[in-house]
Structures are given as C-alpha cells and as structure tokens.
Chain A
Amino acid sequence: MSDLLSIRGLGLKIDGKEILRGVDMELASGEIKGVMGPNGAGKSTLLRLLAGELQPTTGELTLCGQDMSERPEREFSRDGISYISQRPGPFRDLTVEENLRGAAQRGSLFSRKSVRGKVDRLAKLIDMERKTDVVVSELSYGEMRTLDVAMALASEPLLLLADEPTAGVSGGVAGDIVDLFKDLCESNRNTPFHLDGLIFVEHDKGTVFNLADRVGFLHDGRLVVEGTPESIRQHGVVAQYLSEHEFD
C-alpha cells in the first residue's frame, strides 16, 4: 500500500513550551489509525496540525506526496483532509439541511442540483432525512456529533481526522459512528463518501482497538510507540497506561 499521509519530525512550540516533538508517522492508503495517550499528551494538537488549524514549528507533512506544511487552513479541506473537532461543530442557528448544504456546496456553489443530491445522500447516510428542517440547537448531543461526521464527509475527503468522535454520545450512536467509519474505509473507491484513510483520537480503549488497524501512543508530545492493536498492548508504557485506565 502506498502512503496517503506522511509526517516527518513534526513539532509545535507555543510560548517556548514544546507541545509536540519530532513526530514521525505514516498512513497507508486504506488504513485506519487510532491515536491514544494520557491527557495533555498532544493527541488533539496532532490532529489540529494535520487539519491545518495549527502551523507546525518544525517538520513536514505530505498528503499523496504533496507538501502541506505551509498551506493555509482552508486548502487542507480542498485538498482532501476533513476534520471533526473535539467539540460539536455544526452551526447551531442553522437547520440540519443548511449545515449539510453549507458543507457540501463548497467547490460547486451554484450547482444546486448536485448539491441537493449530495445533501439527500448525506442525510440518508446518518439517518436524519426526517430532521432536515430542525435547527441544530434543538438536536441531541449525539445527533450533533453524527451531523459533524456527515459534514466532514460532504467534501468527499481522502483522509478524515476525528477527535473523540464518540465521546459523550450513547453507546448505540457511538456504535453507529464506528460502523460508518469502518464501512466507508472498507468500501469500494467508487462508493459515495469512500474514505482512503482515517486517523482518530479516542480515550475509549474498546473503540480504539476495535476500529484501528494500527495504533499510535503519544506521551508528553512524543510518539512513543506505534503498531497493531495486538502488538501495542504489550509495550511497557502502553500496558501501564491501560492498567491505570482499566475502568475508563
């Protein structure tokens, strides 16, 4: 498998404090990568750097061989990286349909028919066809998270970055989100909203080991170890972390 994403020596320093240090990581095409680690390890920061929300102070980041390090934030989405942030992101004063349309129309601003079709497919994908007229502020937290996922998929990204997409949602909804990610990553390339790769951050160990092909463990801004879910459990730091968070 060829590399979809490659990170070399990625680092971030804010006010003299090193938040991330020399992170190296590859994501092969079709791969799902989970990132775990204690609070403050730099997991969310890593995703924000990959999404273009933060600019790295060192290192380089390439998507399909294209250097993304100095690109403005908006170009990450245009070039195929979508990001689901830690807090629910839909626009609260807009309806579900307007949120989906707003996410889907970029790049085809005046092709109403194609945007309409995409919005319908997205609403169906997340089972919200009957709620398209509902204002987001009236949705449950789980519904907002699900809408987040659909909005991130609207630009038909190659790579999806998801920061704790199932945190705070009920087990059923969390399961639906995990299943959707799996289906989209395993789907045929011609399937609508097919994903070439997924990197997600999760605290829930079950979700990480169930969903990820490979897992990276961050500690104090460093990528300590990376491997398959089976192999990474055996690593000393990870084993200690898992035992300390046995009941999480």
Chain B
Amino acid sequence: MFTGSKRVLLATFAALVPITLIGVFPLFMGRFQVVLLTEIIIWGVFALSFDLIYGYTGMLSFGQSIFFGVGAYVLTYGMTWELGLLLSLVMVLLSGALLGLIIGAVAVKVRGAKFFLVTLVGAILFHLVALDNRWLTGGDDGLLVPLQFGGVVDNFYLIYGVGLFAALVTLVIVRSPVGLVFRMIKGDKKRAELLGYWTDGYRILSFAISGALAGLAGGLYGYTTGFVSADFFHWSYSADAVIWTVLGGSGTVAGPFIGAALLTFIKESLSSTWGVIYPVFVGLLLIGLVIGFPGGIVGLVKRVASWTVSGKEGSTDE
C-alpha cells in the first residue's frame, strides 16, 4: 500500500489536475458551458455544506435550503444597499453562521427521525414565511440582484475562487482536531460524550459552519442568476444537496462537487430531450449506488484503486 506521504502527494496531484483544468475551462469553451460549470461549482459548495453536517458529523438535515435562501437575500440586500460584493459576501457568511448557531441549538435537542423532521419542517416554515412576506422577499415574483460583474467569464472566476476557498476551508476544518471530533460524533455520539466532549456544542458548531457555506452558495446563486425569490427556501433544494452528496460520496470534500457536477450535467443533457425521465433516472442511479456502493463515486474510485494496488502487490508476491 501507499505510505502516508505518498498518499498525500497522490491526493494533492489528483486534486490539482481537475482544479487546473476547471480554471482554464473558459478559455476553450462556449458561453453555455461556462454558465453550466459556474452553476455546478455553486451546487458543489451547497452540497459541501450538507456534507459537513451529514458526512462528517452524522446529522441528516433537510434544513439547508433555509441557509441557502437567507444567504441569497442577505447578498441581495447587501448589493442593493451598495455595500459592495466582498462585504456582502462576508455578511452572507456571518448571517449563515449565526442562523446555523440558532437553528442548530434547537435541532440538536432531537435525534434520528425527529431531527430529520424538525429540519424539514423548519425549511417548509421558512418557505411559507418568505412567500407571505412579499414586502421583504418579493414572494414568488422575487427581487432583482444588482450586479457588479457583467461578464459570464468574470462571474465564473469569482465563483471558482470562492468555491476553492470554501473547499479549502472545509478541508482544513475536517482535518483539524475539531473535524476529528465531528467524525467521532458521527461514529458514536455517546462514546464521544464519555470521552469528555460536549457533543451538542460541536454539533451546533458544525451547523454554524455548514450554515455559512450553504448561505454562501445561496448568495452566489442569486448573484449569478441576478434574481432571488421565496422559492430559494423550498425544501427541494435541501433534497438536491442530499442527493448530490450521497451520489458523489459523503464524508469527502470532493464527493459533493462530483455528485453535483454529474447530476447537473445529466439534468441539462436530458432536459431538452428526455426531461420527464430525469427523476426516474436519478432515483434508479441512487438506489443502485446506495445498495452497491454506499461510499458513492469517491468510495467506488477508492475501492477500485485499492483493488488495483492490492492486485499488483499480489502479483509481485507470486
């Protein structure tokens, strides 16, 4: 098997290749493809926010659309009040984290199916409140987002940079001592508590970081489309994040991006021809993956790599 340092080198190389390719993508591709890739990165960040609380901390939350919607509106108002893009994005992060602390503090009091229900009902409530308060959200009709960048490519590089930042920050967190506690809580909350950790505190922290990331994705999506509406709070956004993460591989930083990329690409490809069968296709794909490869695409790749290495080692022994 690979030693620790070799594994790190391989992983770094495996990450740098797609990052570089994506970075030069707009130089060779058309407008439609650049817009699609921009959207994929945003969805990747959104799925990553879910992965942090589910894949790393073990909480199946359906409340991500709350943060997504709030992030989109905070950015919209920030831009409307002419705070500038950077300050607006900082506000998005802070508001997402603060809301994550509040919602997390309530949600961690319940466990299992109740936790799932509380977060789902929370998302539905926020959606209804947003629909009813047109003076603030514009309801169904939504609000226009004042833009700072005009071009598709400029916007792509903005999203690309923020997406890299989000992935890097998440990577640092999950590999830190705090990230280890998240993973311990996912493995056995009771056991982590017996070791002296205030597990509810860590779960709330995970919620806050996740809320900041989901808010960031919402802000970026609103900024990219130039429009936000109460529908940004719809729970189906949360469901998408779940599907992308499970498909790509939960508990990994790359998995949510891969899942989001694959399904967004498939959705766009099928929508013009077989749009009706898209949900059926995604459903079958998910069932197959969950049964056959619970680690998602990243888990599958890791397993194949492991087979290849052990196969080679086996043949050397012979």
Chain A interface (Cβ < 8 Å from any Cβ of B)? 51-53, 73-78, 83, 85, 89, 91-94, 98, 101-103, 105-107, 109-110, 112, 115, 133, 151, 155
Residue contact A91 to B193, C-beta cutoff 8 Å: no
- Given A51-B194, A93-B187: A110 and B177 within 8 A (CB)? yes
Residue contact B191 to A109, C-beta cutoff 8 Å: no
Interface members, chain B 148-206 (any A CB < 8 Å): 177-178, 180-181, 183-184, 186-188, 190-199
Can you list 23 A-B pairs, Cβ within 8 angstroms, ordered by A?
A53-B194, A73-B193, A74-B193, A74-B194, A74-B196, A74-B197, A76-B194, A89-B188, A89-B194, A91-B183, A91-B184, A91-B191, A93-B186, A94-B180, A98-B183, A102-B180, A102-B184, A102-B195, A103-B195, A105-B177, A106-B196, A109-B178, A151-B195
Chain B interface (Cβ < 8 Å from any Cβ of A)? 4, 177-178, 180-181, 183-184, 186-188, 190-199
Could you say which residues of chain A place their CB within 8 Å of the CB of B191?
A: 89, 91
* Minimum C-beta distance from A149 to chain B (A): 14
- Given A74-B193, A74-B197, A102-B195: A133 and B181 within 8 A (CB)? no
* Minimum C-beta distance from B57 to chain A (A): 13
Out of A77, A85, A91, A101, which one reaches B196, CB within 8 Å? A77
Residue contact B195 to A155, C-beta cutoff 8 Å: yes
Could you say which residues of chain B place their CB within 8 Å of the CB of A101?
A: 177, 180
Q: Quick one: closest A residue to B201, CB to CB?
A: A74
| Number of CB contacts from chain A to chain B under 8 A | 61
Residue contact A91 to B197, C-beta cutoff 8 Å: no
Residue contact A78 to B177, C-beta cutoff 8 Å: no
Q: A77-B194, A102-B184, A155-B195 are in contact. List 17 more A-B contacts (CB 8 A).
A: A74-B193, A74-B197, A77-B196, A78-B196, A89-B191, A91-B187, A93-B183, A93-B187, A94-B180, A94-B187, A101-B177, A102-B181, A102-B192, A103-B195, A106-B196, A107-B196, A109-B178
Q: Report the separation of the CA atoms of residues A94 and B181 in the bound assembly, to the nearest whole angstrom.
A: 11
Could you say which residues of chain B place their CB within 8 Å of the CB of A94?
A: 180, 183-184, 187
Could you say which residues of chain A place their CB within 8 Å of the CB of B177?
A: 101, 105, 109-110, 112, 115
Q: Report the separation of the CA atoms of residues A42 and B88 in the bound assembly, to the nearest whole angstrom.
A: 60
* Minimum C-beta distance from A116 to chain B (A): 11
Out of B180, B186, B190, B194, which one reaches A98, CB within 8 Å? B180
